[in-house]
């Protein structure tokens, strides 16, 4: 177990020693955080823009103010969740990009690397969107009923999302330290 954890920490050191990767992770975390705020407040922003009561400058401040966006429809825990998810998403994404770059440069055939890249990209996604998927499958009324029956009223999807991102970060970081070729048996 210590060997696996050392591989993960070595991957973090290797990937995040580059200032560009640190900047990318920070940028992605902020961007993902804002996207989650905007999605949570889309109706508020749409109503404010359509009302005609606010100048463009005021609308822009509302659109860019995290304090305003969190105060309108986010609780303390949903704000904490949005921050944690944003950080984990950005770390996972930067590690994944480092892994893809490593695999592409090690491939003899560009086509194989490209197919692997596309397949890997299709596997990346927001694992916390379970309630949205549930709504699409069962309809809003049925999804609301199902979510209200759950012990944490749908917060289970948040915990599952965080857990899946942590597992993904661990697995990608571990894979970064794996040799590019299989060991030979003598």
Closest Cα to residue 64, out of 29, 23, 28, 35?
35
The pTM for the full model equals 0.68
Distance of alpha carbon 96 from alpha carbon 25, whole angstroms: 11
Closest Cα to residue 153, out of 71, 78, 102?
78
Question: Does residue 101 sit within a domain?
Answer: yes
**Per-residue model confidence (pLDDT) at position 155:** 65
Based on DSSP, count helices (H) and strands (E) in the chain, helices before strands. Answer: 10, 0
Q: What angle do CA 3, 162, 154 make, to 5 degrees?
A: 150
Closest Cα to residue 7, out of 184, 171, 180?
171
Beta-carbon contacts of residue 170 (< 8 Å; ≥ 6 apart): 8
Question: Does residue 185 sit within a domain?
Answer: no
Question: Does residue 186 sit within a domain?
Answer: no
Number of domains the chain is built from: 1
Q: What angle do CA 175, 160, 172 make, to 5 degrees?
A: 10
Quote the domain boundaries for residue 156. 2-176
Could you list the mean pLDDT of each consecutive 10-residue stretch along the chain, which spans 186 residues? Answer: 81 90 94 84 83 87 81 79 88 88 65 45 38 44 56 68 83 77 58
**Per-residue model confidence (pLDDT) at position 150:** 60
**Per-residue model confidence (pLDDT) at position 18:** 92
**Per-residue model confidence (pLDDT) at position 151:** 64
Question: Does residue 181 sit within a domain?
Answer: no
**Per-residue model confidence (pLDDT) at position 162:** 81
- 151-173: burial string, b at 16+ Cβ within 10 Å, e else: eeebeebbeebbebbeebbbebb
Return the SS3 of 131. Answer: helix
């Amino acid at each position: 177990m210590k060997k696996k954890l050392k591989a993960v920490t070595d991957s973090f050191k290797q990937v995040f020693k580059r200032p560009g990767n640190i900047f990318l992770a920070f940028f992605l975390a902020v961007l993902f955080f804002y996207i989650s705020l905007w999605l949570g407040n889309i109706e508020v922003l749409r109503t404010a823009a359509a009302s005609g009561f606010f100048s463009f400058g005021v609308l822009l401040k509302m659109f860019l103010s995290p304090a305003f966006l969190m105060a309108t429809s986010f609780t303390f825990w949903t704000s904490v969740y949005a921050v944690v998810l944003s950080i984990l998403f950005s770390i996972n994404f930067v590690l994944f990009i480092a892994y893809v770059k490593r695999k592409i440069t090690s491939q003899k055939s560009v086509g194989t690397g490209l197919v692997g890249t596309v397949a890997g990209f299709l596997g990346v996604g927001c694992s916390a969107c379970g309630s949205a998927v549930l709504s699409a499958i069962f309809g809003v009324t049925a999804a609301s009923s199902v979510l209200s029956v759950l012990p944490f009223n749908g917060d289970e999807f948040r915990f599952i999302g965080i857990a899946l991102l942590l597992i993904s970060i661990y697995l990608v970081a571990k894979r970064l330290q794996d040799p590019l070729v299989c060991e030979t048996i003598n």
